[in-house]
Structure 1
Amino acid sequence: MNISRQLQRLALNEDINFLLTNRVPRAALTRFMGWFSRIRHPWVRGASMAVWRSFTDIDLSEAKKTSFDCLHDCFVRELKPGLRPVDPRPEVLASPSDAIVGACGRIGDDPGAQVFQAKGFPYPLSDLLGGGARAQVTIDSLRGGSYVTLRLTSSMYHRFHAPAALALEHVTYHSGDTWNVNPIALKRIERLFCKNERAALHTRLSDGTPLLLVPVAAILVASMRLRAVDVALNAQYRGPHELPCEASYDKGEEMGWFEHGSTILVFTPPGFALCEGVGTGHRIRMGEALLRRMAAVPATA
């Protein structure tokens, strides 16, 4: 068995994986990785990418560029045009990113609007969004709706796109921790998404329907960029944390990117359901059907 396979098997051991990716100085390691990944030296780039490949199944054949100046450039790579066709049906919300589907289902009707990060590990939307009038209005509109957890692995395409034609009205940035967001950590750390660095993107579809997207950062390069906000949202960002926006996007248009693998949480109001075949463990690509608007049931006489 070669060294690469031995490393992969070691990483799959839950206890070892959790210790290596969480019981470390997460903030310091994340700052270091942010600096290290931007070193533009061929030896550093070559060695770091070789180590990365030994732990992942990264495929760069879809990348727009054929070479990279540093590891960071590879993390945020663009794809060749036409590789992610977007489902054109108006009733369908497309996946905003390449991902593995995690916990998904119905948002609770309780005051906190409970959802799950993993089986037996609930969290309330009120904790995820924090306080304030805007958060409360959003929570009230989402109770009884649907949610989907989309986990991006480190080897995936890291850019995220509009799931439908929509307007981004407001961004609330929450600084926080940098726990790993893999399934192992989600089964051990309660309310993990509510503790990590994240940005709540308050959007509306073209017909006025609210749609909430929450990119959640994680350990290592815990940083995200939004096209509508000309700053890097990361541990070094000092505010303001309430960021009004007036940005419109066509379906499939790029909204931003992660600077490492992480998670996007998608929340819809009542009236939407998961598309056929979408469930926990399903691999989905940006642009594929994720949620659909259910046909209205005619009222009986």
Structure 2
Amino acid sequence: MTVRRLIARFTQQEDLNFLLTNRIPRAALTRFMGWFSKIENPFVRDASIACWRLFSDLDLSEARRTDFKSLHDCFTRELRPGLRPVDPDPHLVASPSDGIIGAFGRIADTELFQIKGAPYSLLDLLGDPALVEQHRNGRFLTLRLTSSMYHRFHAPYDCRIEKVTFIHGDVWNVNPIALKRVERLFCKNERAVLQARLPSGEALTLVPVAAILVASIRLHFLDRTLNAQSRGPTVFACDAKARKGDELGWFEHGSTIIVLAPEHFEFCDNVAEGERIRAGERLLRKP
């Protein structure tokens, strides 16, 4: 097969993937999935999980329990104790979740990238000029959670969460194909901006971004689930202390977390685009 034909076939596959996962009533399908996944019926649960296994690399061997009440219960499963030990080095910021490392690097003034050649601005992402100033010329890293991954996320360092802003938006897929085709995708999707302060006073911000079939982000310290019913932007003032590795919440299904750190932080040597990382593993080194 010629190179031209291979490229044409690959493009056709991308077109089909984008069509099936984005050119559909995304919001309606997401609301339906939110309802359907919580049905506590053994037949619905077993059939749904079996279908999920068929189209993904779902592995439940790490799950704390396997007697799930529903598909949602399986999505948001806990792991057996000790499976995600947090790196104890006080100079290291840990990964907040399992994920595949996407774009990362230095924020050029206030510009960062969803993939190479696809820029977006901190202001569009965060919606807060004061927070933008705290991360100007800083560091950013994107973690993509696939549907089969462990969906809970954790505090990457000892911190105090001072404010959460929920920004209402769309539910585009966040896979690499969509990131190539939808400009400023992370700035269009529903997201929560978690503003945290380290003991040293430095700002560390996590931005969980929802996606199709997800659009629900559970935050334990607010005792609240943020979703399409949470019209935004909505600001939640808080003063929640978290120790490194503490569970902060979960995604329903899978999505993305963007980590924003100060400019003098450096990426650890295990950080590379396309690499898988687990919650608790080293991510950034602070002076």
Separation in 2, partners of 1:210, 1:239: 23
Tell me how many residue pairs correspond in the alignment. 277
User: Kindly tell me: are residues 260 and 268 of structure 1, through their superposed partners in 2, closer, same or farther at Cα, counting changes over 3 Å?
Assistant: same
Match in the other structure for 2:37? 37
Displacement of 1:238 in angstroms is 3.4
8 Å Cα contact 2:76/2:252 also seen in 1: yes
8 Å Cα contact 2:168/2:233 also seen in 1: no
Match in the other structure for 2:123? 126
Displacement of 1:222 in angstroms is 1.4
For each residue in 1:158-204, what CA deviation from the matched residue of structure 2 results, as whole angstroms up to 9, or x when unmatched? Answer: 00000000000000000000000011100000000000000000000
Give unpaired runs (5+ residues) of structure 2. 1-9
Separation in 1, partners of 2:151, 2:94: 16
Amino acid at match of 1:115: L
What secondary structure, in the 3-state scheme, does the structure 1 residue paired with 2:15 have? Answer: helix
Separation in 2, partners of 1:151, 1:218: 11
Equivalent residues in 2 for 1:150-299 (5 A)? 150-238=143-231, 241-294=234-287
What secondary structure, in the 3-state scheme, does the structure 1 residue paired with 2:39 have? Answer: coil
Amino acid at match of 2:120: Y
Amino acid at match of 2:237: P
Q: Which runs of 4+ in 1 moved over 2 A?
A: none
Displacement of 1:260 in angstroms is 1.3
1:68 aligns with 2:68: yes
Match in the other structure for 1:116? 113
For each residue in 1:39-96, what CA deviation from the matched residue of structure 2 results, as whole angstroms up to 9, or x when unmatched? Answer: 1111111111111111110110100112211100000000000001111111100000
Match in the other structure for 1:4? none
What secondary structure, in the 3-state scheme, does the structure 2 residue paired with 1:172 have? Answer: strand
Equivalent residues in 2 for 1:15-30 (5 A)? 15-30=15-30
After TM superposition, the score normalised by the length of structure 1 is: 0.90
Separation in 2, partners of 1:67, 1:20: 32
Displacement of 1:231 in angstroms is 2.1
Amino acid at match of 2:63: A
Separation in 2, partners of 1:260, 1:244: 27
For each residue in 1:135-178, what CA deviation from the matched residue of structure 2 results, as whole angstroms up to 9, or x when unmatched? Answer: 22221121111100000000000000000000000000000000
Separation in 1, partners of 2:55, 2:115: 24
Structure 1 window deviating more from structure 2 (252-261 vs 227-236): it is 227-236
Displacement of 1:228 in angstroms is 1.6
What secondary structure, in the 3-state scheme, does the structure 1 residue paired with 2:223 have? Answer: strand
Separation in 1, partners of 2:181, 2:99: 21
Amino acid at match of 2:242: Y
Amino acid at match of 1:47: A
Separation in 2, partners of 1:146, 1:157: 25
Give unpaired runs (5+ residues) of structure 1. 1-9, 295-301
8 Å Cα contact 2:270/2:283 also seen in 1: no
Separation in 1, partners of 2:159, 2:249: 14
Displacement of 1:221 in angstroms is 2.6
8 Å Cα contact 2:165/2:233 also seen in 1: no
User: Kindly tell me: are residues 188 and 225 of structure 1, through their superposed partners in 2, closer, same or farther at Cα, counting changes over 3 Å?
Assistant: same
Separation in 2, partners of 1:123, 1:221: 22
Displacement of 1:215 in angstroms is 0.2
Separation in 1, partners of 2:220, 2:113: 29
Structure 1 window deviating more from structure 2 (96-105 vs 221-230): it is 221-230
Amino acid at match of 1:142: H
What secondary structure, in the 3-state scheme, does the structure 2 residue paired with 1:103 have? Answer: strand
User: Kindly tell me: are residues 167 and 291 of structure 1, through their superposed partners in 2, closer, same or farther at Cα, counting changes over 3 Å?
Assistant: same
Match in the other structure for 1:90? 90
Separation in 2, partners of 1:126, 1:25: 28
Percent sequence identity is 64
